[in-house]
A and B are shown apart, each in its own frame.
Chain A
Amino acid sequence: MIDDTIDTKKSVNMMYSNRLSEQRVERDFALLETLALHVVHKNCLKSRISAFVTNFALFVASLLFLSILILLFDELPFFVFKIGVLTILIISISYFSSVQAKRIYLARQHRQLTSSRLMQMVYKQPPGCENESKYDDRKYLSLLKQDTAAYLYALKTKVPRKGVQ
């Protein structure tokens, strides 16, 4: 029988050093608890769907808001009012596009760090004997570490100079 449970509570906390990852560990109970893989997958799917629905709803709402502004701009007979509407329109477009950009960015980052990738790697591994379990855990966690954006960035860039420039 394949042991499809992972206990990552201790090690993951050590691995993730940046704040974003810490927040994710707090949120993502799949990483804190020992869970069956199919439950983890189910939770991942649920969170993905809810994120998509929220994003889509926000997108539609902002489009609706902008459409009303455009309609007002078109319909109102007063030039002064048109300027006012145009001002709000410019600010709103900037605001809504920044919100969407932020959400997309965070979703992408979440996907990069998500445990599902770890799970996929676990599935690919042959069922190891008990002596190898510690080694396997370490291996999977090092893979996870390699996946984090912070680690990749640290590999690529120099550490900025400290202190007054």
Chain B
Amino acid sequence: MKKSLLYILLYMSLIGMVLSAIFIQPRPFNHPICYNLMYALLVISGVGAPKQLLFLVLAPWYSFQWERRKKHCASGSYRPLVSVIIPACNEEVGLLATVKTILANDYRPLEIVVVNDGSTDRSDEIMRAFLRKYEALMSDIPSYKYVPIYYYYQQNGGKGSALNRGIALARGNIIMTFDADSAVHENAIERMVAYFADPQVMAAAGNIKVGNTRTILGTVQDLEYLFAFYTKRAEALLGTVVVIGGAFGAFRREVFEKLGMYHVGTLTEDIDLTFRLQEAGMKIIYAPDSLVHTEGPTTLRALLKQRLRWKRGRVEAYQIHKNFFFGLQKNLNRPLFWLILPLVILEDFAYTCGALFTIALYIYSFLTLNFVILLSVLFVCAGIYTLLFIENASYRKPIYFVTLPISWFLMNLVIFAEEYAILMAYWTFFCKREVKWQKWKRTGVADS
């Protein structure tokens, strides 16, 4: 379905609901069992609401805190060698674009390590051809401007294995990892390094946005990422960052020297590493001004598979690190393992009820013609996104503000995808069924 057509339909529904709420007397709802059931669903699904509200209240204060911290660090003079690692497996569409956007960054000294994890597509050929051209072109530029690119082809061993190979080849003090389907903002590396001027910062999560936003699915994921990374500020403010996303993360070399490399064989090696960092009491921050655009799944099937992998990976990480929940280990990040992670697990179950409540709410609203609750939910969602759009300069465009009143309807798609992923993740985990890495057809992040 075309995006504009869907928007028109949703707007017409919205107008209909508003008119009904004003002019039509709601029908009475005389089903006490259904009513109580709906009420129970609302209460259970609201478990995560206080946490989300707290995060939304705290999130804007994160940048203020960093403004205050910045003056205590000599970030301008801090320019260590940065190694960028790009693991790639069958990424012929996006790999070269990713390398080029990194080269377009002004930060020096910089080196790029590309690890091809046994690709069977043309990515190896494309990369080698590019390197030949690049070396010829760069032969006469000053050494301080030159960015060496190391390329390594290995047998397929998974993302963790490719990252480990990259770290072994890298020489930098700061190691940044990017996905091979990303478009890196021209100042992203420079801004990220500035945070590491604070010697206590051991790792940082970058700000990831969805690049392919032309489709409905892309727009929905874009809105979802915007919300998720906004609340990440509150996580960072409280020192409880749950995950440093694989699409853009930065680490001091010491992290790998102290904690060891990425664990191979896990579905979400990024969550696993983040948990290990938090167990060791290392400081993780979030860099909201370090931007990278990544490619989101282009089909619903691919989105469901991606979410399933994420959720299953998280459940596996809970299992691996279960001894740290409510633990008393030295250096352990207690707020995370005592409060936030148990709440996240609780939220997973609340999410199930949330999805059921959403369905029940639609049925209730259309049966009774009482749209007040639904409109209230729409209003809260639109209000939150208004603030998010004001906060982010790149979203202050009419095209985004058009989505505001119908943002809740659009978010329903993600709600149900997440719901499916949570249920399937726990189901496959308890049935000990394997979940494999998935690939979807890449189109690149050209429109970012």
Which residue numbers of A lie inside 8 Å of B, CB to CB? 16-22, 78, 80-81, 83-85, 87-88, 90-92, 94-95, 98-99, 101-102, 105-106, 109, 149-150, 153, 157, 160-165
Contacts and interface: CB of A to CB of B under 8 A. Distances in A.
B253 to A, nearest CB: 11
Given A17-B77, A19-B70, A92-B387, 20 more contacts: A17-B76, A18-B71, A78-B376, A80-B372, A81-B372, A81-B376, A81-B379, A87-B380, A88-B383, A90-B57, A94-B56, A94-B60, A98-B60, A102-B64, A150-B71, A153-B71, A160-B198, A161-B199, A163-B254, A164-B202
Contact of A90 (B53, B61, B73): B53
A20 to B, nearest CB: 6
B76 A22 contact: yes
Nearest to B388: A95
| Nearest 9 CB-CB pairings of A with B | A88-B383, A98-B60, A19-B75, A84-B376, A19-B76, A162-B199, A22-B76, A94-B57, A84-B380
B67 interface: yes
A98 B64 contact: yes
A162 B280 CA distance: 15
Given A102-B64, A105-B68, A84 B53 contact: no
A95 B72 contact: no
Contacts, number: 100
A16 B355 CA distance: 54
A18 B380 CA distance: 41
A21 B227 CA distance: 32
Contacts of B258: 164
Contacts of B64: 98, 101-102, 105
B404 interface: no
A80 B68 CA distance: 39
Contact of B60 (A85, A95, A106): A95
Contact of A88 (B70, B73, B76, B379): B379
A89 B53 CA distance: 11
Contact of A102 (B63, B194, B198, B282): B63
A164 B280 contact: yes
Interface string B359-393: 00000000000001101110110011001000100
14 contacts: A16-B76, A18-B75, A19-B194, A84-B383, A87-B383, A88-B379, A88-B383, A92-B387, A94-B61, A99-B60, A106-B67, A157-B72, A163-B199, A165-B282
Contacts of B331: 165
B194 A85 contact: no
Contacts of A109: 71
Contacts of B77: 17-18
| Size bracket of the B interface | 35 or more
Contacts of B76: 16-19, 21-22
A144 B58 CA distance: 36
Given A90-B57, A94-B57, A164-B280, A20 B71 contact: yes
A22 B391 CA distance: 25
Interface in B163-192: none
Contacts of A149: 71
A150 B60 contact: no
Nearest to A91: B56
A91 B384 contact: yes
B143 interface: no
B281 interface: yes
Contacts of B70: 18-20
A92 B391 CA distance: 11
Contact of B74 (A102, A150, A163): A150
B200 interface: yes
Contacts of A80: 372-373, 376
Contacts of B200: 160-161, 165
Contacts of B74: 17-18, 150
Nearest to B382: A88
B283 to A, nearest CB: 8
Contacts of A84: 376-377, 379-380, 383
A55 B375 CA distance: 34
Interface in B281-329: 281-282
A90 B53 CA distance: 9
Contacts of A88: 379-380, 383-384
B373 to A, nearest CB: 5
Contacts of B202: 164
Contact of B67 (A87, A95, A105, A150): A105
Contacts of A163: 199, 254
Nearest to A89: B383
Among B64, B68, B280, B282, which residue has the most Cβ atoms of chain A within 10 A?
B64
B61 to A, nearest CB: 5
A22 to B, nearest CB: 4
Nearest to A90: B57
Nearest to B390: A95
Contacts of B72: 150, 153, 157
Interface string B34-54: 000000000000000000010
Contacts of A78: 372, 376
Contacts of B377: 84
A165 B281 CA distance: 8
Given A21-B76, A84-B379, A91 B372 contact: no
A98 B61 contact: yes
Given A81-B372, A105-B64, A163-B254, A95 B199 contact: no
Nearest to B73: A18
